Amino acid sequence: WTIRKPQQGGGFFFAPRLHDRGAKTVLGVRIPAGGGEEDGVKVLDLLARQPATARFLSRELATRFVSDNPPAALVDRMTQEYLNTDGDLRAVVRLMFESKEFWAPEAYQSKIKSPLEFVASAARAAEADVTFGFGLAQVVGRLGEPLYRKAEPTGYSNGSDEWVNSSGLVARLNFATALAANRVPGARVDAAKYKESGAVWGSPAFQKR
Condensed to tens digits (0 to 9), the pLDDT of residues 125-173 reads 999 999 999 999 999 999 999 998 998 888 898 888 888 888 889 999 9
Three-state secondary-structure class, residue 60: helix
pLDDT band at 197; cut points 50, 70, 90: low
pLDDT in tens, 3-47: 988 888 889 999 999 999 999 999 999 999 999 999 999 999 999
d(C-alpha 82, C-alpha 91), whole Å:
8
pLDDT in tens, 74-109: 999 999 999 999 999 999 999 999 999 999 999 998
The amino acid at 7: Q
Contact (Cβ atoms closer than 8 angstroms) between residue 156 and residue 118: no
d(C-alpha 101, C-alpha 171), whole Å:
32
The whole-number pLDDT of residue 196 equals: 63
Size of the chain in residues? 209
d(C-alpha 180, C-alpha 194), whole Å:
9
Contact (Cβ atoms closer than 8 angstroms) between residue 200 and residue 126: yes
Q: What is the pTM of this model?
A: 0.77
The whole-number pLDDT of residue 54 equals: 98
How many helices and strands in the chain, by DSSP H and E? 8, 6
Q: Is the pLDDT of residue 208 over 60?
A: no
Q: Is the pLDDT of residue 205 over 70?
A: no
d(C-alpha 187, C-alpha 122), whole Å:
11
Sign of the alpha-carbon torsion through 73, 157, 161, 103 = negative
